[in-house]
Amino acid sequence: MTTESLTERVVAEPAGAARDAAFDHALDVLRDRRDEFNAQRYVPRDFIGLLKRAGMYRASTPTEFGGEPMAPADFMSKVESISAVDPATGWVSSFGSSLVYFAPLPVATQKKIYADGPDIAYAGGLFPMQEAEKVDGGYLCSGVWQFASGCRGADIIGIGLSGGPQTEGKPLTALVDPADVEIVDNWDVAGMKATGSHAVRADRLFVPEEMTFVRGGTPLIDEPLTRYPALAYAAQVLAVVTLGAARGALDYALEVGAARTSITGGASKGNRPAYKSGLAVAEAELRSARAFFYESTEAVWAKAIADKHISTDDKAMLRLSATHAAHTGRRVVLQAFDLAGTGAIYETHPLQRYLQDALVPAQHAMLQTNTYEAAGALMLGLDAGIPSFP
């Protein structure tokens, strides 16, 4: 891959009022087009361009290469705002954090990737990890990789390779030009439709060794964001999508409950005791989970800025708060669905967007129920029992 082969770059607006306006504009466009994205099952490249203008795809590019790294809490609050409008688009935007994975690449390779600008959209189809043929200067890669979220709008795609003695058995990610792989249109799902998490296929594709790295490997760029735990961050940016979905669902429930009358002309839903108490409990649960989530994030980020040791316990709290956010957010959306009554069963109902999408993050391997057990094991000084946890 060469920088010339990457798609045409879109540049972020200057930081400050112009970039804030670009972000607000992207949200306005999303409100108008979210049904379109859902129907076509991917977020298109032109909208990825709007997110680039809003700074979402330079948020994890190192400062050394022209990036403007965002504090994790700041970046995730933006993902949360996008997800409150459309969770699937929030999921795609969350991969603006994933350029931290590139930090273990040779510095010369990183310079080449960012040579034409820091605003890069990355998509990873990492599983199942495939055995690649080692040849002079790199690898010949063949296989099919699943779940490449955002691949139709990506500048670079990562594919997962099984590691060997040279990586101490740790898996590799190989970076490839989207034009060199086939997108296999197999994203036929009930939730997160617009993420476009299709599979990618390659047949004896040569990837230079310098375009491969160990995910979560030792960074060769030392900045606060490269010190922040990369795998925990990967779980967090997905979990925060559910917090945004829950916010969107509760805002809808509040709007409907505040109406003066119901559809039948009787007392408004909001005047029913079950509606009032259900809404209040859901609000309290969401705010509590959100507070734990961001509190854990800020505590570890402070250590990253100060270049202090980030312990296993610190990482475990990041993972625990992420899992809790995903599962609590899902319950809150279900509560909003319950409050809405029979009308919410229709496919065209506004809550269906949040319901279908909010069920998905907690299904992800990094956020499934067993990660509660893994976090508890670490709190007790035991083995987590899950690879690469925390």
CATH code for 122-214? 2.40.110.10
Asked if pLDDT for residue 195 goes beyond 60, the answer is yes
Nearest to 352 by CA among 340, 367, 362: 340
pLDDT tens, position by position, 109-134: 999 999 999 999 999 999 999 999 99
Q: Tokens 């734990």: give the residue.
A: 292
So where are the chain's domains?
Answer: 3-113, 122-214, 228-379
State the fold for domain 3-113: Butyryl-Coa Dehydrogenase, subunit A; domain 1 (1.10.540)
- CATH for the 228-379 domain, from 1.20.140.10, 1.10.3720.10, 3.10.290.10, 3.10.129.10: 1.20.140.10
Residue 187, both tokens: 């994203």
- Dmax over CA atoms of the chain, in Å, equals 76
Mean predicted confidence (pLDDT) in 7-35: 94
The fraction of the chain above a pLDDT of 90, given in percent, is 90
Domains 3-113 and 228-379 equal at CATH topology level = no
- The answer to which of 125-134, 135-144, 158-167, 170-179 has the lowest mean pLDDT is 158-167
pLDDT of residue 267: 66
0.85 exceeded by the pTM? yes
Q: What is the mean pLDDT of the chain?
A: 94
CB within 8 Å of 7: residues ≥ 6 apart: 45, 155, 178
Residue 253 near residue 260 (C-beta atoms within 8 A): no
